[in-house]
């Protein structure tokens, strides 16, 4: 799993149907790498979270059929990033 910070919710014009109804969030790592994850936890911008990848990401989103490879697993309490 990875530790990432929530940046903003994505607004999509065209999208596949099986993405479901969870918000898609843009997140960055401490080193600035950019990711997109499904958010079943209800995070706010600025929250530090950990994310779950690949097959476990689909279960984490609540339905094996959902089209995701990265899902927020929880909000980390009081995370102190190094490179800030």
The β-bridge partners of 44 are: none
Q: Does 22 bind its own copies (CB under 8 A)?
A: no
Q: What is the rounded distance in angstroms from the CA atom of residue 11 to the CA atom of residue 3?
A: 23
Query: Which backbone phi and psi does 4 adopt, to 5 degrees?
Result: -135, 160
Q: What is the rounded distance in angstroms from the CA atom of residue 53 to the CA atom of residue 80?
A: 23
Q: Does 7 bind its own copies (CB under 8 A)?
A: no
Site string for its own copies, 36-75 (x = CB under 8 A): xx--xxxx------x-xxxxxxxxx----xxxxxx--xxx
List interacting residues with its own copies (CB under 8 A).
1-3, 10-16, 18-19, 24, 26, 29-30, 34-37, 40-43, 50, 52-60, 65-70, 73-78
């Amino acid at each position: 799993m990875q530790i990432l910070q929530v940046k903003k919710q994505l607004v999509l014009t065209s999208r596949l149907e099986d993405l479901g109804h969870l918000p898609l969030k843009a997140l960055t790592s401490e080193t600035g790498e950019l990711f997109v994850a499904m958010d079943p936890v209800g995070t706010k911008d600025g929250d530090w979270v950990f994310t779950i990848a690949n097959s476990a990401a689909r279960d984490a989103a609540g339905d094996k059929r959902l089209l995701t490879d990265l899902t927020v697993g929880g909000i980390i309490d009081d995370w102190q990033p190094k490179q800030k």
